[in-house]
């Protein structure tokens, strides 16, 4: 398992952020362990199926968020 969650997050973000329906990513926790979160605008099966469940040894958690909007 890779020990660098920040690098894994950066690489996964580059891979998924341009996919339609992906709103953003973050580093989080799942069961007390670091994970990468991918926020999606809807539960479109095509989007969900394109996101890995594990990346670089870290769990990937998909969460519905709706679209993100820039403040300011």
Per-residue pLDDT reduced to its tens digit, 9-28: 999 999 999 998 899 999 99
Question: What is the residue-averaged pLDDT of the chain?
Answer: 89
Residue 69 covered by a domain = no
Domain of residue 38: give its range: 5-64
Q: What is the domain count for the chain?
A: 1
Q: What residue has token string 């479109």? A: 44
SS3 content of the chain, % helix, strand, coil (to 5): 25, 35, 40
Residue 14 covered by a domain = yes
Residue 52's alpha-carbon distances to 2, 24, 37, 47, in angstroms, are: 16, 15, 11, 10
Contacts of 26 (CB under 8 A, 6+ apart): 9, 36, 37, 39
Residue 71 has pLDDT above 70, yes or no: yes
Residue 17 covered by a domain = yes
Render pLDDT for 36-48 as a digit per residue (tens, 0 to 9).
999 998 877 888 8
Residue 46 covered by a domain = yes
pTM of the model: 0.84
Residue 70 covered by a domain = no
Residue 56 covered by a domain = yes
Residue 41 covered by a domain = yes
Residue 34 has pLDDT above 80, yes or no: yes
């Amino acid at each position: 398992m890779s020990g660098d969650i920040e690098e894994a997050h950066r690489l996964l973000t580059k891979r998924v952020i341009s996919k339609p329906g992906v709103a953003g990513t973050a580093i989080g926790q799942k069961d007390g362990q670091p994970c990468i979160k991918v926020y999606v605008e809807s539960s479109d099966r095509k989007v969900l199926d394109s996101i890995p469940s594990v990346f670089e040894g870290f769990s990937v958690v998909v969460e519905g968020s709706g679209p993100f909007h820039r403040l300011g």
